[in-house]
Amino acid sequence: MKITILETGRAPGRLSERYPLYPDMFRSLLSGADGGLTFETVALVDGAALPDPAGIEAAIITGSPKGVYDTTPWMDPLRDFVRGAHAAKTPLIGVCFGHQIVADALGGEVRRSPKGWGVGRHTYDILGRRPWMADAGKRFSLAVSHQDQVITPPDGAVTLASSAHTDHAMLAYDNAPIISVQGHPEFTDGFVSALYSARRGVSLTDEMADAAIESLATPEDNAMVADWIARFLRSARA
């Protein structure tokens, strides 16, 4: 199966030079879960045109510094892409901003959370299960970096995981092969620690950055979530 990665953002400053770009992070993550997957990147951040969602096998929407309320040349076309993928039953995965734009495009509410920045390792309680969630226990942990949240999921979306900070941290859509997650299974601890450090004194206080980095001592479940995504993709195309 070929996965079309829609690149909607890049790490700030020189982090994009020091670390892999987001599509490369997803390649590394998902190749470890399923060696049969192949990938192509559509760099919306560079002005690339979106493909016809009915003409591809599956897609992932990456994280982004942009919010769904921002004006960019690709924001409304991306909403149309999401709706087209939903109608065509094309498997679709959203991560962080991707999680939010899918919900927004399909009629949910997304906005900046009054709870403030979500940073560090967040642990989510699993509220619901699907057959592709192999080895799922009661909770899972991922690194996060977000101000915005899905406040109200759209019709057809089921909340599979939540935390005290994020009510709708993982969604599955019962009316289409779509799943999304607020956390970042593709982020390594080295990268996310550098990201928090880069935001120190900009969007994060010293105390927030220190606490976020210290929280990375909690083990991550990146590989398990990658396996969920791979199993979901295989089941969606079965």
User: Active-site residue 186, yes or no?
Assistant: yes
Alpha-carbon distance 33 to 227, whole Å?
Answer: 5
Is residue 184 among the annotated active site residues?
A: yes
Query: What sign has the CA pseudo-torsion 230, 223, 120, 11?
Result: negative
Asked about 96 being catalytic, the answer comes back as yes
Which of 122, 146, 165, 184 does the annotation list as catalytic? 184
According to the model, what pLDDT value does residue 238 have?
A: 67
Q: Which of 146, 165, 186, 220 is catalytic?
A: 186
**What pTM value is reported for the model?**
0.97
> What residues does 141 pair with on adjacent strands?
123
Query: Per CATH, which fold does 2-187+220-236 belong to?
Result: Rossmann fold (3.40.50)
E strands in 98-235 = 109-112, 118-126, 139-146, 148-152, 157-162, 170-173, 178-181
Convert the pLDDT of each residue in 198-207 to its tens digit: 999 999 999 9
CA distance 176 to 103: 13
SS3 181: strand
Q: What's the mean pLDDT when you consider all of the chain?
A: 96
In the predicted structure, residue 167 carries a pLDDT above the cut 70: yes
Mean pLDDT of 20-29: 98
Catalytic residue among 96, 122, 146, 165: 96
Q: Per residue in 119-159, pLDDT tens? A: 999 999 999 999 999 889 999 999 999 999 999 999 999 99
